Structure 1
Amino acid sequence: MSTTLNSIAIDVVGQYGEAAKHLVQAYRTGTERAVTGLGGRYEKLLESRSLPLVTDSVKAGIIGAEQRLSGLVVDTVGRVSDGAGNAVDRVSSRAIEGMQAFGEKTAWANDLMVVNALRTINLPAAKLSLEIATQINKATRSLSERIAGVPAAPAPKAKSAAKRVRRTARKAA
């Protein structure tokens, strides 16, 4: 884990950049799943019903139009997602480059007593900021994986309160 304010700030920007990319991926995957699911249900609905004045060729035309529209939506969302991901990469890398340049240009002040005093005061807040950014990144990764359908690790089973009470009562007796 980083111990200088500059390296912590760089890590925070990196964590938020990753979180943003997870959200973009969740948006893309969620849209694809929703469009695919709705398209399949729409097709089943048309195929399962006998509608007056709607022949099989008309149904096929309607389903084909829906599939083309779905493809257009998915392609557009894909392009928008790619652009957003690239924008996140550019912004975060430029921010990190700027912080690194700032750190290099101000390295001469690292040994000043006032700077050390301020660093000591601000370091706990910076570490807390990094921890918050890390938790946000983990939450967005989990959200993205959940939307993608990746099974989550099973949570440990909690013991019931009644079991704990009985066990405690037995030990007390």
Structure 2
Amino acid sequence: MSAKNLSTVASDLIESYGNTAKNIIDAYRAGGERVVTVLEQRWNRALKQSRPELTAETAKNARAAQLAFSVYYTKGLNFTSSGAEQVVEQLVKLAETGVERAAANTALFEEKTGVNTLSTLAQVTAPGALVLSKLATQIEQKTAGLAGKIAGDDVSTVSAKRPSAFSQRRKAA
């Protein structure tokens, strides 16, 4: 296996790690959406139960407080998850650029010096990198399934009767 092939395996590995990170971010976002929905439901149930004991102004203020909390929470969730996605994208681009430059410099170095040590090293390490790349791809697929389960309606631990304000805004955008 040549240095070019090792760089291809390294690029695939970097891409898998990036996709895995994005899957985890998606799971974080979906979990956060579910938290907002559950909290909204609990708050509304508690408000409904205590409504006869509350003045109209107190009930109005309680509802406004809950809405403010939901809005700020969802904005924070969106901000942090979007920021994390941007960081992952930049890190993947940076790592892939590094691999490309290393591969190009390796070929240039060997051509100028006539020493093939780096190609030999690439041949020795490539099988291990390939195994690692396959493992990373499996992890990526499992995290994609996890993110899908968390975001989907098939998760039985939380049953949301209506979509959260966050998911409604996300669909509208």
Same fold (TM over 0.5): yes
The answer to whether residue 127 in structure 2 is matched with residue 124 in structure 1 is yes
Corresponding position of 1:69:
69
- Which residue of structure 2 lines up, in the alignment, with residue 29 of structure 1? 30
Following TM superposition, by how much is the alpha carbon of 1:119 offset from its aligned partner in structure 2, in angstroms? 3.5
Question: Match of 1:156?
Answer: none
**Change in CA separation of 1:150 and 1:104 when aligned onto 2, cut-off 3 Å:** farther
Tell me, what secondary structure is at the counterpart of 1:57?
helix
Which amino acid letter does the alignment assign opposite residue 11 of structure 2? I
State the distance in 1 between where 2:119 and 2:93 align: 28
Identity percentage of aligned residues = 28
Q: Measure the CA separation in 2 of the matches of 1:41 and 1:122.
A: 55
TM-aligned CA deviation for residue 118 of structure 1: 3.4
AA aligned opposite 1:5: L
AA paired with 1:29? A
Aligned to 2:87: 87
Question: Is the 8 Å Cα contact of residues 51 and 59 (structure 2) preserved in structure 1?
Answer: no
Residues 21 and 88 in structure 2, CA contact (< 8 A), matched pair in contact too: yes
Aligned length: 150
Tell me what 1:38 maps to: 39
Instruction: Report which stretch shifted further, 57-66 or 128-137.
Output: 57-66
d(CA) in 2 for partners of 1:117, 1:102: 15
Mind listing any 5+ residue stretches in structure 1 that lack a counterpart? Answer: 153-173
**Aligned counterpart for 1:136 among listed residues 118, 121, 139:** 139
Q: Which amino acid aligns with 2:18?
A: G
CA-to-partner distance for each residue in 1:104-129, whole Å, 9 max, x for gaps?
12125499665554334322211111
User: Contact 1:13–1:96 (CA<8 Å) still a contact in 2?
Assistant: yes
Which of 148, 161, 167 is the aligned partner of 2:151?
A: 148
Work out whether residues 106 and 118 of structure 2, in 8 Å CA contact, stay in contact via their aligned partners in 1: no
For residues 98 and 113 of structure 1, the distance between their equivalents in structure 2, rounded to whole angstroms, comes to 20
Deviation of 1:65 after TM superposition, in Å, equals 0.7
DSSP 3-state at the match of 2:103: helix
- RMSD over aligned CA atoms reads 2.5
- The structure carrying a bigger helix percent of its residues is 2
Structure of greater Rg: 1
**Which amino acid in 1 is paired with 2:27?**
A
User: What SS class does the counterpart of residue 106 from structure 1 fall into?
Assistant: helix
Amino acid at match of 1:125: G
In 1, Cα distance between equivalents of 2:154 and 2:103: 42
